[in-house]
Amino acid sequence: MSLEAETKSIVAQFEYTDEDVNKGVLEFLRQMAEGLEKDGTSLSQIPTYVTAVPNGTEKGLYMAVDLGGTNFRVCSIKLNGNTTFNLAYSKVAIPKELMVAKTAQELFAFLALEIQKFLQKHHGDQFEQHVRRRLTMSSPDGYRDENAFRMGFTFSFPVKQIGINKGTLIRWTKGFDIPDAVGKDVCALLQAEIDKLHLPVKVAALVNDTVGTLMARSYTSPGKHGTMLGAIFGTGTNGAYVEKLSKIKKPLEGEYDQSTGEMVINTEWGSFDNQLNVLPNTPWDDALDKASPNPGIQMYEKRVSGMFLGEILRLVVIDLLKNPNVSFFKDENSSSNDWVSTTTIAETSDLYKQWGLDTSIMSVAAADNTPELSTLRQALESTLHVYAPAHDDAQAFKAIANAIGRRAARLSAVAIAAIVLQSGKLDDPAFQDEPIDIGVDGSLVEHYPYFRDMIYEGLRIVDGIGEEGAKRIRIGIAKDGSGVGAALIALVAAGME
Ligand code: ADP
């Protein structure tokens, strides 16, 4: 078989047709409803106890901290009330020994100390005033500052949220392992260490980064209605949206403000359709899953997000290299009657290593519209040590990469379309003259050329959305979700005190 024919057959396996998109949307809607009814379903549909999204007029000074993986970030955000904000920021690497400390107290004491340093550096006057005021009190240890900073705490580990500022750690991930923290309320752990230092800070909200994206976009985007969905397409993928309280059938344990009739739901859509009822499944998807640390889990994410797309492509490339019937990244010379075929890829190339192909090369491939594919060929040479790649080889690489990227974008459209349909906003008279706003964040949607265009292409063919409906959906980038978003959740929480 020629390389061209083989490439065509591979590309066809990644095709995700209009019919597939529509089937996907129906299944997504079904799994959303199931997740709103009970725990332990494919889409977790986690209630966040956030019951309103901002409209850009919010004002005040708030703090936000983010404990993600390698770094701890502290910031303060001044919301100006006109969709703009000012941000002060500091970042520190978390010492490795604290990630596996004997007690949670050691880690959280370090975090509290970083918060103190930040306050002294960026809000010195306010901090000094607080210290002086406290010392004039008859019982300084019991002193609670009315003007304490309200702080949003973005904590990117699995937690069971039981209130707007309450959540117990389910398990550590990403190299952390402090057994005595498991099952404890992480907000209370942080507050206890903040109180030991007598800092004027109240942990007001426990924040999921996707919810932060939704809030940040809602504050900064123009229009009289807030944003209805925040979505991340980066290393992983997830979405949080505004749901009607009446549709949340499973019990809500914590306290919340019922007056808005709504609550933000964290879908955890990375695990949509782990059963593979409707998700596409090529031999390469299967191989990726089997070799992953969590087979059978996060099956939607494994077809959509930045961490995995490059790996799918790498597995296809390796199969093509092994195929004796096609010439792909090979040098072929005839010497007398013998054909000598040698690969043009260095043995040390990352192409031979699991996770060795970064998704960003797919952006290079998609963006290179030169007839010679010179940028892509250069990237293949510099990042993957493929020597002097032939034009046909680069073209095959690009066609396969594009097919994987296009399938990911159309799968992204499935989640977005389902949530738009679930909201009923296309038929809501209040939205007839206003766009339905969606905030997105992450390298894939920001840097992969035409990713958003391909999402729109998917939305247009969904029954119930169509050309007209798609025009009314506005997808815009949300920046600084974990900073300004967390501050906004702290603001909502402060209103509930
Ligand atoms: P995170 O989600 O961890 O906050 P990012 O949004 O930057 O971080 O996403 C990182 C992921 O995006 C990585 O998996 C990386 O491979 C992928 N990525 C980085 N740059 C690009 C790009 N230009 N095009 C496509 N994917 C990219």
- pLDDT tens digit sequence for 180-213: 999 999 999 999 999 999 999 999 999 988 999 9
Q: Determine the 3-state secondary structure of 364 from DSSP.
A: helix
**pLDDT above 90 coverage of the chain, percent:** 75
Q: Among the atoms of ligand 1, which is closest to the Cα of residue 307? A: 14
The angle subtended at Cα 457 by Cα 452 and Cα 458, nearest 5°, is 95
State if residue 442 touches ligand 1 by the CB under 6 angstroms criterion.
yes
Q: For 170-189, what is the mean pLDDT?
A: 91
Q: Are residues 303 and 424 in the same domain?
A: yes
66, 185, 209, 358: the active-site residue: 209
Number of domains in the chain: 2
Residue 485 lies in a domain: no
| Residue where the block lists tokens 């006057």 | 125
> What burial letters (b/e) apply to 271-280, b meaning 16+ CB within 10 Å?
bbbbeeebbb
CATH number reported for the structural domain that contains residue 159 in this entry: 3.30.420.40
State if residue 152 touches ligand 1 by the CB under 6 angstroms criterion.
no
Q: For 160-186, what is the mean pLDDT?
A: 90
Residue nearest to atom 11 of ligand 1 (CA): 235
90, 156, 327, 443: the active-site residue: 156
| Contact yes or no for 435/474 (Cβ under 8 A) | yes
Residue 484 lies in a domain: no
Residue of 216 and 344 predicted with greater confidence? 216
Q: Among the atoms of ligand 1, which is closest to the Cα of residue 358? A: 16
* ipTM of predicted assembly, 2 dp: 0.98
Instruction: Examine the pLDDT at 160 and tell me if it is beyond 60.
Output: yes
pLDDT tens digits, one per residue of 47-79: 999 998 999 999 999 999 999 778 899 999 999
Residue of 147 and 6 predicted with greater confidence? 6
User: Which residues, other chains included, contact 104 with Cβ-Cβ below 8 Å and sequence gap of 6+?
Assistant: 178, 180, 181, 184, 189
Q: Determine the 3-state secondary structure of 150 from DSSP.
A: strand
State if residue 360 touches ligand 1 by the CB under 6 angstroms criterion.
yes
**DSSP states of 75-131:** EEEEEESSS-EEEEEEEEEPPHHHHT-SSHHHHHHHHHHHHHHHHHHHSHHHHHHHH
Residue 307 lies in a domain: yes
Instruction: Examine the pLDDT at 426 and tell me if it is beyond 60.
Output: yes
Q: Are residues 188 and 249 in the same domain?
A: no
- Annotated active-site residue 423? The verdict is no
Pairing of strands 229-233, 237-244: antiparallel
- Dist CA 243 CA 211 (whole Å): 13
Q: Which domain holds residue 325?
A: 1-48+222-479
pLDDT at 113 (0 to 100) = 98
User: Which of 235, 298, 477 has most ligand 1 atoms within 8 Å of CB, for mutation?
Assistant: 235
DSSP state of 69: S
State if residue 313 touches ligand 1 by the CB under 6 angstroms criterion.
no
CATH number reported for the structural domain that contains residue 386 in this entry: 3.40.367.20
Residue nearest to atom 17 of ligand 1 (CA): 306
Q: For 418-444, what is the mean pLDDT?
A: 93
pLDDT at 341 (0 to 100) = 60
Instruction: Examine the pLDDT at 335 and tell me if it is beyond 60.
Output: no
Residue 268 lies in a domain: yes
pLDDT at 132 (0 to 100) = 87
Q: Among the atoms of ligand 1, which is closest to the Cα of residue 232? A: 2
pLDDT tens digits, one per residue of 235-292: 889 999 999 999 999 998 878 889 999 999 999 999 999 999 999 999 999 999 999 9
pLDDT tens digits, one per residue of 341-356: 667 888 888 999 999 9
- Dist CA 436 CA 415 (whole Å): 15
Residue 358 lies in a domain: yes
Distance of CA 212 to the CA centre of its chain: 10
Q: Determine the 3-state secondary structure of 273 from DSSP.
A: coil
Residue 89 lies in a domain: yes
| Contact yes or no for 421/29 (Cβ under 8 A) | yes
Q: Determine the 3-state secondary structure of 4 from DSSP.
A: helix
State if residue 448 touches ligand 1 by the CB under 6 angstroms criterion.
yes
pLDDT at 155 (0 to 100) = 92
Confidence of residue 484 (pLDDT cuts 50, 70, 90): very high
Q: Are residues 60 and 191 in the same domain?
A: yes
| Residue where the block lists tokens 């030169």 | 370
Q: Are residues 87 and 33 in the same domain?
A: no
Q: Are residues 104 and 180 in the same domain?
A: yes
Instruction: Examine the pLDDT at 332 and tell me if it is beyond 70.
Output: no
pLDDT at 339 (0 to 100) = 52
State if residue 306 touches ligand 1 by the CB under 6 angstroms criterion.
yes
Q: Are residues 41 and 117 in the same domain?
A: no
| Residue where the block lists tokens 């090529």 | 282
Q: Are residues 72 and 25 in the same domain?
A: no
Lowest model confidence (mean pLDDT) among 46-55, 101-110, 191-200, 369-378: 46-55
CA of 333 to the centre of ligand 1 (A): 40
Q: Are residues 255 and 170 in the same domain?
A: no
pLDDT at 421 (0 to 100) = 98
39, 171, 331, 341: the active-site residue: 171
SS (H, E, C) 425-476: HHHCHHHCCCCEEEEEECHHHHHCCCHHHHHHHHHHCCCCCHHHHHHCEEEE
Residue 111 lies in a domain: yes
- Annotated active-site residue 30? The verdict is no
pLDDT tens digits, one per residue of 252-265: 887 888 999 999 99
pLDDT at 334 (0 to 100) = 47
Length of the chain: 497
Q: Are residues 134 and 171 in the same domain?
A: yes
pTM: 0.90
If you average pLDDT over every residue of the chain, what do you get? Answer: 92
Residue 217 lies in a domain: no
- Dist CA 497 CA 414 (whole Å): 38
